[in-house]
Structure formats: structure tokens, C-alpha cells
Amino acid sequence: MSDNPRHSGLAVILGRPNVGKSTLINALVGEKVSIVTHKAQTTRHRIVGLLTRGNTQIGLVDTPGLHRGGGHALNRVMNETATGSVDGVDLALLVVEAGRWRDEDAQALSVAASGGVPVGLIVNKVDRVTPREALLPFIESVGREHDFAFVVPLSARREDNLEPLVEEITRFMPAGEFLFDDDQLSDRDLRFMVAETVREKLTLLLHQELPYSLAVNVDAWEEVDGLLRIGAVIWVARDSQKAIVIGSGGATLKEVGRRARLELARRLDRRLHLSLWVKVREHWPDDEAAVRGFGH
């Protein structure tokens, strides 16, 4: 038995879109908790992934990417979510892309620093930089932007150099009982996980044509004799998008349902039936009430 006291806390992950935040969280937690695609703006929700190592439990808070401009209500809500997510955490982690520092990175840094907590710098995608020494001038120049608590260069995609990051984060977790159950991977409920899985399959299948203006809402959930029946609505903004989501002869929607069902049956470890409907709600990304109603 160890007498070491437990430590538990929250680390928020910030960074402009596409720097690899979701990939990093997935690599750290070792389970898919957030969707990853090649497109920016896929992470719209605040997500907590949990990492428990020995006596320390780290809650990772994901944020939507920080967007400039914010003409759409959707962007505004996303920026507010990102800004609010630094409140009440123990550590902020700023993720940047090796060799690329942009205005949006500076913006993300100012959000990270606004909480008054230590900010650690993560330089991701180092696999793209050869030779490795070419990284040093970049790290030095970004280091001048803020008094960072630490700097860890890594590759989230290749899961390279993650351990030093976990050690650094661990140093900033305050003493205290675990905030979450040991085996809990995500604080989001199962319905949310189902909605995200459906949205992910749609995003992957419709890559070029995909409207960002797409949301998934689980509205039926019933378990009878070991069979889980789930119903979900895919909301789109226009009739033309509805046609794209359904596909010729319903093929696209059917394939989305098939892929989502297979993955969910495996993850939830039970038999399930998934029904999907497509509904139109015009211009929902411009409608702040609708955006909030969808849980952003």
C-alpha cells in the first residue's frame, strides 16, 4: 500500500483550429473521446478525457478551436466556450504546430493566460520537422511570447514524446481526492457519444460536400430485452443538404447508420438498433438560439 496522497486536477487544452488538440487528447487517453478529421472546426464541445496514473488523475478539458472574426453565431458560441473553459482549471496547455506561429496562436495564448494559471507549451507535429534541431529557433521565439511553465515538443499522431508531457502535467495537479471515477473516460453522457459518433461517420463520408451546418441530436433511447433502440435526428440547414446526407436511394444515410451502429455496438458492448432521420432547420448556424439548443 502506498501512503502517497492523491492528486487530481484539470488541464485545459487550447490552440487554434487544426493544431491537433483532439488527436493529442485521444493519444493521451488511449480511447476515442473526441472526433478527429482532416477538417478544422470538428471539435465543437467541451470534453473531459481522463488520465489516471498511479496516485494522480488528470482531467483534460478540450476546447473548440479559437476562431477569428466570429461572424456566425456558431463561431461566437465556440469562442465563448473556449474562453470560459480556462476558469477553474489548474493548468492551461497551449498547443501549437511546429514551425507555425500565427495571429490565432497569439489569440489562443491570451485566452490561456487569462485564467491566471500556469501555461505549458506543447509544440505538436514535430514529425514534420527535419532535422530536429530546426525546431530550436522556433521554440525559442515562441518562448519569448510568454513565461511558459514548461515546453514539450511531441507528435500526437505518432504518439511520440507523450510521457514527458504527462510528467509535466502531473506536477501541476493539486493534492486531493480524485475528481472522477477511476474507470470513467469521459464525462459526457452516452447520448452525446452516440451523437458524436453519428456526426463523425457523416463527416468522414461526406468529406467534400459536407456542410458544417450539421448537428445530431439523440431523441430516443430505449432498452428492451438486451436490445438498445436509439433514434437520432440529423439536422441540416437546407433541403439540398438533406438530399446530400440521404444520398442516392438513401445509400449515404444507410452507410452512416451502418458504420455508427457497428462502432457503437462495440463500444457500448451490446446489441443495438439505430434509426436516423434527417430534418431541415433553415440557417441554423446563424441562429444563436438554435446553436445553443443543439448543445454547443
Ligand X SMILES: Nc1nc2c(ncn2[C@@H]2O[C@H](COP(=O)(O)OP(=O)(O)OP(=O)(O)O)[C@@H](O)[C@H]2O)c(=O)[nH]1
> If binding is defined by CB under 6 A, does position 125 make contact with ligand X?
yes
Q: Which is nearer to ligand X, 90 or 97 (CB)?
A: 97
> If binding is defined by CB under 6 A, does position 113 make contact with ligand X?
no
For the segment 63-82, give every residue that binds ligand X (CB under 6 A): 65
Residue 39 annotated as part of some ligand binding site: no
> If binding is defined by CB under 6 A, does position 83 make contact with ligand X?
no
Q: Which span sits near ligand X by CB under 6 A: 18-26, 84-92, 140-148, 281-289?
A: 18-26
Q: Using the rule CB under 6 A, which residue among 156, 169, 230, 256 binds ligand X?
A: 156
Which residue is at the shortest CB distance from ligand X?
20
> If binding is defined by CB under 6 A, does position 157 make contact with ligand X?
yes
> If binding is defined by CB under 6 A, does position 49 make contact with ligand X?
no
Q: Which is nearer to ligand X, 20 or 115 (CB)?
A: 20
* Phi, psi for 136 (deg, rounded to 5): -55, -50
> If binding is defined by CB under 6 A, does position 266 make contact with ligand X?
no
> If binding is defined by CB under 6 A, does position 38 make contact with ligand X?
yes
Q: Using the rule CB under 6 A, which residue among 17, 59, 115, 285 binds ligand X?
A: 17
Q: Which is nearer to ligand X, 65 or 285 (CB)?
A: 65
Residue 19 annotated as part of some ligand binding site: yes
The contact set with ligand X (CB under 6 A) reads 15, 17-23, 36, 38, 40-43, 65, 124-125, 127-128, 155-157
Q: Which residues are annotated as a binding site for GTP?
A: 15-22, 62-66, 124-127
